[in-house]
Amino acid sequence: MRALLALTLMCSAALAQAAVVTREIPYQDAEGKRLIGYYAYDDASKKERPGIVVVHEWWGLNDYAKRRARDLAALGYSALAIDMYGDGKHTEHPQDAQAFMAEAMKDPDEAAKRFDAGLELLERQPYTDKSSLGAVGYCFGGKVVLDAARRGVRKLDAVVSFHGALATQTPAKPGEVKAYVLVEHGADDSMVTQEQVAAFKAEMDAAKVNYQFVSIPGAKHGFTNPDADRLSHGEHGGPDIGYNKAADESSWAQMQAFFKQVFK
C-alpha cells in the first residue's frame, strides 16, 4: 500500500511539474524582414509531436494569437504563432489593421515567403515532428493558411481556417492541394459574402480538394475571439465582428477531431 501511495505521489508530482513552455524567437523571411515568432510546447514529454503554425488575425501578433499557440501546446502540439507584419507589431484600431494587412498582402509572393519562413522555423524546433505539420489561421490568417494549401505547400498535412477570408486571386488547381482542409465559417459573417462562399466551394470541388466546410448558425466574423465585441468599436466604424462562445467551442472541438484524424 505504501509503495502504491509513493508511486501515486510521484506521478502526481510529475504531472504538476509538466507545463506549457513558451518563448519568443526572432527570425527573418527571405527578404531579410525581422519577424518575431511565439513558440509553445508542453514539456510533459520530450518526444516529437505534430507541429502547428498559428497565423494571426488582421490585428497582428497579439495576445489572442499567442493564447491559441498555448492552447494547441496544451493539446500536445508543437505550436508557433508566426508574424506576418514584422517586429511582432499589432494594433486594436481597424484602420491600422487594414493598413498592416494591405501592406503584407500587396505582394502575394512575399506573403507566401513570410508564411514559409514561419513554417521552416517551426520545423527547426526540437519537439516538432517534421513529417506531421499543419496550420490554423484566424480572419486574415485564415486566408493565409488557405492560400498556403492552394499553392500546394508539400509540407502541410492539414489547414484550418477560422472565420477566414475565402476569396483568392490564386485558386486551387486539380492535383496541387496536398493538405486536408477544414473551414469553420460563421453563417452570419457579413464580411464574407454568400457568393464568396459558393465560389470557394466550387473551387474546392473543381480542384478535388479533401475539405470540410462548417457553417455555424448565428456566428459572425471573429466568433472565436473573446475580445471581438470590444474590438468591433461599435458605432466608431469598426468591423462587424462578435464573439460567440458556443461557436468558439464547437469549432475548436471540430479542429481537434480533424487533427486527430489527420495525424493518426
Any idea which residue has 466604424 for its cell?
A: 237
Percent helix, percent strand, percent coil in the chain, to nearest 5: 40, 25, 35
For 168-225, the DSSP string reads -SS---TTT--SEEEEEEETT-TTS-HHHHHHHHHHHHHTT--EEEEEETT--BTTT-
CA 120 to chain centroid, in Å, comes to 15
Which cell numbers in the block locate residue 120?
A: 521552416
Closest CA to 138 of 217, 221, 220, 219: 221
Kindly report, residue by residue over 25-63, the tens digit of the pLDDT.
Answer: 999 998 899 999 999 999 998 999 999 999 999 999 999
Which pLDDT score is estimated for 154? Answer: 87
54, β-bridge pairs: 81, 136
Which pLDDT score is estimated for 236? Answer: 46
Domains in the chain (CATH in brackets) are: 20-262 (3.40.50.1820)
Q: How many helices (H) and strands (E) does the chain have?
A: 8, 8
Which cell numbers in the block locate residue 204?
A: 474546392
Q: Do the bridges between strand 158-162 and strand 128-138 make them parallel or antiparallel, or are there none, so unpaired?
A: parallel
Which pLDDT score is estimated for 234? Answer: 52
pTM for the whole structure: 0.92
pLDDT along the chain (264 residues), means of 10: 46 58 96 96 95 98 98 98 97 94 95 97 97 98 98 95 96 96 98 97 98 98 95 70 97 98 95
Which pLDDT score is estimated for 250? Answer: 98
Is the distance from CB of 82 to CB of 90 less than 8 angstroms? no
DSSP secondary structure code for residue 158 in this structure: E
Going from the C-alpha of 76 to that of each of 19, 160, 180, the distances in angstroms are 11, 17, 20
Whats the size of the chain, residue-wise? Answer: 264
Is the distance from CB of 247 to CB of 143 less than 8 angstroms? no
Q: Count CA atoms closer than 13 A to 171's CA, side-chain side.
A: 14
Is the distance from CB of 72 to CB of 50 less than 8 angstroms? no
